[in-house]
């Protein structure tokens, strides 16, 4: 562990003691959110991002050690582990270096070289490799190897060259240098396969493309890979000859004074063309793909985090519309607590065209349930439905607003077992409308029920390593859920699953216990849940909220292990948790001014970081961090693409951030593209940001809107 800690500390620019403490906590079964929030003293204030990077590095180092041990065991079994090779293996710090060292000894299928070895041609190959100067002729050198199985001198020399070619290709230093050169100076060429179908010209940019691999952007790499997989593109790869040839001849010299010089030259060309360069191409493309996928997963994770942290529009009774033509628009009215009050279907669009009847139905629902907000799914017929809602608002005697909601994944959720359990009496399509309403009221609570890949905010999310993508996205959801906190008495199993220390089975047990025994009166009562032992309680308790219980601190992010210190702090400030927020803030601030935090922490037997968090929570217990973010734009009238003229300035909401810019919702059906060249240097946009943009161009027939930045 000390070795791991030192390596990790160097790479992450932290102290070895911090890394060692984090590794010890992780190996003891503690979760990342718990360590980041409640073990700051032990880790020296490592934040969640640093801890996640530490976990990735630790996993990588352990995989290298596991592979090293397996290779050493294989070499020992083969009787080929020399002291020099063992030293090289112990010094190797990456899987690539280990595999390069192991390559010559890796058990292989029968190859041309292995067949030549079986024919006894290794000594002749050794002579070619040695490039010895001798007066002996080629026929004389090869004569001892000619027999019934190798009938001619030419065949003996050809077999020996096969062994030499494989030896060259397998050499670790040759592979390392050629790979490094290829990653710097190699070029990728793509061309359209003749007769390939690409009806929408998705890959037109790559029909005749040539680019240095070190200059390819992640989205280009993923696009090329997809085009190749779909048999639209043919992909080639080249390494400059001087690079691979110099890498080989630096190790395997050609001596023109040797009668075997020409055979070494032939073996070098054969090794490069048949073995080395194809292997290096696979290595380089795999490396580029891994880097591109890592980037794409990081972009997806950032977009998902921003989406999940969108502020909830609480205290609204929401009327949600899931638009459609032939099957009608599904309607659901949901109260501020998320309870479905009424559902139905209207048919305002073709072929039924029951517009007036639909307006009457919606108006009656708005009046009956005192609806204050309308949510419209952004799928099929959303444009026409938006016009219908704008007309409804103009006729409404009460103040009413609407917003468009990204409905990606709603149909996936509607057909899921969770949706059936939540809405057993509702049709699948009506569940989708209810989900749209709840997305507005609490995006986090609703979106955790859906596979993140189905939410539609990624970059080539279906092309990347699905296991890595799922791991990264689960980490993002876990992070946000624990940042916000979860009401133990209202949370769904899907939401509880992501609480530190819980998981799917325990989440189901918590909900089942709640349904059978009634709401939890305190955090302590959670211990009565079957399977929720001391370790799980320790990990989860600080992230679960019990509101309105006998212990006010249960509604805060203060961990039960710190209740004693928190109560002593309140006593010193002559306060209790029922005091108004303004009083608590003033008295706690006064207490901090009278005594340093370090002195106070020592007296209360806690750490300064924990005490700082306690102060913050006592002022605003259980505060939702999403409350500080700007709320979504609410609209009362509709825009069409006909209204968009160059120079028109609008407020927009960032819907997706990708390598080449950001897609922005400006209130028409089609999101506009704010190209990265239009975004000021240093500005980092994220999903949910509200920005001012202006119309640059509108291509109505192609449904494209280009935007410029105005602030």
- Establish if 502 belongs to a structural domain: no
449: DSSP letter: T
What would the DSSP string read from start to end of 428-441?
HHHHHHHHHHHHHH
Q: What is the pLDDT of residue 200?
A: 84
Whether the CA torsion 435, 439, 441, 443 is positive or negative: it is: positive
> Helix or strand or coil: residue 682?
coil
Q: Do 674 and 529 have their domain in common?
A: no
Residue 355 belongs to domain with CATH number: 3.30.420.140
Distance CA 29, CA 39 (A): 13
Q: Where are the beta strands (DSSP E) in 132-274?
A: 187-192, 208-212, 233-238
Q: Domain with 15 in it: what CATH number? A: 1.10.10.650
DSSP for 559-592, written as a single string: -GGGHHHHHHHHHHTT--TTS-HHHHHHHHHHHH
Other C-beta atoms lying within 10 Å of the C-beta of residue 664: 23
Both 599 and 659 in one domain: the answer is no
Q: Which of 628, 660, 694 delimits the end of a domain?
A: 628
Task: Count the helices and strands in the chain (H runs, E runs).
Answer: 30, 15
Spell out the residues 6+ positions from residue 431 whose beta carbon is closer than 8 angstroms to its own.
Answer: 413, 414, 419, 422, 423
Look at the chain and report how many structural domains it folds into.
5
* 291 within domain boundaries: yes
74 and 152 assigned to the same domain: no
In a domain, 201, yes or no: no
Residues facing 691 on adjacent strands = 652
In a domain, 198, yes or no: no
CA nearest 430: which of 358, 314, 346?
346
| Confidence (pLDDT) at 2 | 52
Residue 221 in domain: no
What's the pLDDT score for residue 323?
A: 94
Dist CA 646 CA 230 (whole Å): 38
Residue 580: exposed, middle, or buried by beta-carbon count in 10 A (0-12, 13-18, 19+)?
exposed
Alpha carbon distance 673, 696 (integer Å): 10
- Measured CA to CA, the distance from residue 545 to residue 614 in angstroms comes to 15
- Written as six digits, the tokens of 54 are 């530490």
HSE-CB of 648 using CA atoms within 13 angstroms:
19
Asked if 664 contacts 615 with a C-beta cutoff of 8 angstroms, the reply is: no
Strands 544-545 and 704-709 come out as: unpaired
Give Rg (Cα) of the chain.
33
Q: Could you identify the residue written with the tokens 């624990």?
A: 482
The answer to whether residues 606 and 682 belong to one domain is: no
Handedness of CA 536, 541, 547, 550 (dihedral sign): positive
What integer pLDDT is reported at residue 640 of this predicted model? 73
pLDDT at res. 643: 80
Closest-CA residue to 649 (of 690, 707, 694, 679): 694
* Residues 157 and 269 reside in one and the same domain: yes
Q: Does 613 lie in the same domain as 472?
A: no
Boundary (domain end) residue, out of 37, 72, 105: 105
The CATH number of whichever domain residue 611 belongs to comes to 1.10.150.310
Q: 437 lies in which domain range?
A: 318-480
The 8-class DSSP code of residue 631 comes to P
C-alpha–C-alpha distance, residues 603 and 388, integer Å:
65
Q: Domain boundary at 227, 261, 296, which?
A: 296
Give bridge partners of residue 343 from the DSSP assignment.
Answer: 332
Residue with tokens 């005091």: 579
Q: Which of 114, 246, 129 is nearest to 177 (CA)?
A: 246
Residues 82 and 136 in one domain: no
Mean pLDDT, consecutive 10-residue stretches, the chain (711 aa), reads 85 96 97 97 96 96 96 96 96 95 92 96 97 90 95 96 97 97 97 92 94 94 95 96 97 95 97 97 96 92 90 93 94 95 96 95 96 92 90 91 87 88 90 94 92 75 86 92 95 95 96 96 97 97 94 95 94 86 87 91 93 92 80 76 84 87 85 92 89 90 87 71
How many Å apart are CA 539 and CA 560, to the nearest integer? 11
Contact predicate 557/485, CB 8 Å: yes
Residue 63 within any structural domain of the chain = yes
The reply to whether 19 and 82 lie within a common domain is yes
Residue ranges in 276-351 assigned as alpha helix (H)? 277-308
DSSP state of 706: E
In whole angstroms, give the CA distance from residue 559 to residue 610.
Answer: 10
pLDDT at 512: 96
- HSE-CB for 292 with a 13 A CA cutoff: 25
Sign of CA dihedral 602, 604, 607, 613: negative
Per-residue 3-state assignment (H helix, E strand, C coil) for 400-414: CEEEEECCCCHHHHH
* Helix extents (H) in 80-147: 83-91, 95-102, 112-118, 122-130, 138-142
CB of 432 closer than 8 Å to CB of 413: yes
Distance CA 301, CA 297 (A): 6
Same domain, 520 and 592: yes
Same domain, yes or no: 15 and 80: yes
For residues 157 and 141, give the distance between their C-alpha atoms in angstroms, rounded to a whole number: 9
Query: How far is CA 657 from each of CA 137, 260, 292, 694, rounded to the nearest angstrom?
Result: 69, 60, 16, 18
**84 assigned to some structural domain:** yes
Strand partners, 674: 662, 707
Burial 282-305 (b: 16+ CB within 10 A, else e): ebbbeebbeebbebbbebbbbbbb
CA dist 676 and 682 (Å) reads 11
pLDDT digits (tens, 9 = 90+) for 222-236: 999 999 999 999 999
Name the DSSP class of 275: I
Name every residue whose Cβ is closer than 8 Å to that of residue 291 and which is 6 or more positions away in sequence.
218, 221
pTM of the model: 0.85
Helix (H) or strand (E) holding 333: strand 329-334
CATH of the domain at 679: 2.40.50.140
Same domain? 243 vs 323: no
* Most distant CA pair in the chain, distance: 109
- 336 in any annotated domain: yes
Q: Is residue 279 helix, strand or coil? A: helix
Please state at what angle helix 48-78 crosses helix 16-27, rounded to 10 degrees.
80
pLDDT value, residue 1: 45
Side-chain-side CA neighbours of residue 528 (13 Å): 14
Structure-block tokens of residue 83: 């002291």
CB atoms within 10 A of CB 627: 11
Same structural domain, 253 and 145: yes
Supply the CATH number for residue 116's domain.
Answer: 1.10.3500.10
- Strands (DSSP E) contained in 213-325 are 233-238, 318-322
| CB atoms inside a 10 Å sphere around CB 684 | 8
């Amino acid at each position: 562990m000390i070795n791991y800690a030192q390596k990790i500390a160097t790479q992450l620019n932290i102290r070895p003691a911090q890394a060692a403490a984090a590794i010890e906590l992780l190996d003891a079964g503690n979760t990342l959110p718990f360590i980041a929030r409640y073990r700051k003293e032990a880790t020296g204030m490592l934040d969640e991002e640093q801890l996640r990077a530490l976990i990735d590095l630790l996993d990588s180092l352990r995989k290298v050690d596991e592979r090293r041990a397996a290779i050493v065991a294989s070499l020992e079994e083969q009787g080929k582990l020399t002291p020099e090779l063992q030293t090289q293996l112990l010094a190797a710090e990456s899987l690539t270096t280990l595999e390069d060292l192991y390559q010559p000894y890796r058990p292989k299928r029968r190859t041309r070289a292995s067949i030549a070895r079986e024919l006894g041609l290794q000594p002749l190959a050794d002579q070619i490799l040695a490039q010895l100067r001798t007066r002996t002729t080629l026929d004389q050198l090869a004569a001892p190897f000619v027999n019934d199985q190798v009938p001619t001198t030419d065949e003996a020399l050809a077999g020996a060259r096969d062994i030499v070619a494989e030896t060259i290709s397998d050499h670790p230093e040759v592979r390392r240098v050629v790979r490094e050169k290829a990653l710097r100076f190699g070029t990728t060429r793509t061309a359209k396969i003749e007769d390939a179908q690409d009806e929408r010209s998705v890959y037109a940019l790559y029909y005749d493309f040539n680019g240095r691999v070190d200059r390819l952007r992640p989205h280009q790499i993923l696009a090329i890979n997809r085009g190749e997989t779909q048999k639209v593109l043919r992909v080639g790869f080249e390494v400059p000859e001087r690079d691979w040839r110099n890498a080989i001849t630096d190790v395997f010299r050609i001596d023109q004074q040797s009668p075997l010089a020409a055979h070494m030259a032939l073996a070098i060309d054969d090794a490069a063309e048949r073995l080395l360069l194809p292997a290096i191409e696979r290595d380089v493309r795999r490396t580029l793909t891994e880097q591109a996928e890592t980037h794409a997963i990081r972009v997806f994770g950032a977009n998902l985090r921003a989406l999940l942290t969108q502020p909830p529009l609480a205290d609204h009774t929401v009327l949600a519309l899931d638009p459609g033509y032939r099957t009608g628009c599904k309607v659901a009215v949901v109260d501020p607590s998320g309870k479905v009050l009424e559902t139905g279907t209207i048919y305002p669009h073709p072929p039924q065209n029951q517009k007036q009847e639909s307006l009457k139905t919606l108006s009656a629902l708005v009046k009956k349930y005192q609806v204050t907000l309308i949510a419209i799914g952004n799928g099929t017929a959303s444009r026409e439905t938006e016009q219908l809602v704008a007309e409804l608002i103009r006729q409404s005697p009460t103040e009413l607003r609407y917003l468009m909601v990204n409905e990606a994944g709603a149909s996936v959720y509607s057909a899921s077992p969770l949706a059936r359990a939540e809405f057993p009496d509702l049709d699948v399509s009506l569940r989708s409308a209810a989900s749209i309403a709840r997305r507005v009221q609490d995006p986090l609570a609703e979106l955790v029920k859906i596979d993140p890949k189905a939410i539609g905010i990624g970059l080539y999310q279906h092309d990347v390593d699905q296991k890595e993508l799922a791991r990264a996205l689960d980490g993002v959801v876990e992070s946000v859920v624990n940042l916000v906190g979860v009401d133990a008495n209202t949370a769904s199993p899907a939401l509880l699953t992501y609480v530190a220390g819980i998981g799917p089975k325990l989440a189901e047990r918590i909900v089942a216990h709640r349904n059978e025994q009634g709401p939890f009166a305190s955090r302590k009562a959670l211990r009565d849940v079957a399977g929720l032992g001391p370790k799980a309680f320790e990990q989860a308790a600080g992230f679960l909220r019990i509101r309105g219980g006998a212990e006010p601190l249960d509604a805060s992010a203060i961990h039960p292990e710190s209740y004693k210190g928190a109560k002593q702090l309140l006593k010193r400030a002559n306060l209790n948790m029922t005091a108004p927020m303004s009083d608590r803030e003033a008295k706690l601030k006064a207490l901090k001014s009278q005594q340093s935090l370090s002195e106070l922490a020592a007296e209360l037997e806690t750490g300064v970081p924990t005490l700082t968090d306690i102060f913050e929570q006592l002022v605003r217990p259980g505060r939702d961090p999403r409350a500080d973010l700007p709320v979504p734009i609410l609209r009362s009238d509709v825009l069409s693409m006909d209204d968009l003229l160059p120079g028109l300035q609008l407020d927009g909401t960032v819907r997706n951030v990708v390598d080449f810019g950001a897609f922005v919702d400006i209130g028409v059906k089609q999101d506009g593209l704010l190209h990265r060249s239009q975004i000021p240097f240093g500005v980092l946009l994220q999903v949910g940001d509200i920005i001012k943009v202006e119309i640059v161009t509108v291509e109505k027939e192609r449904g494209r809107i280009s935007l410029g930045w105005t602030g």
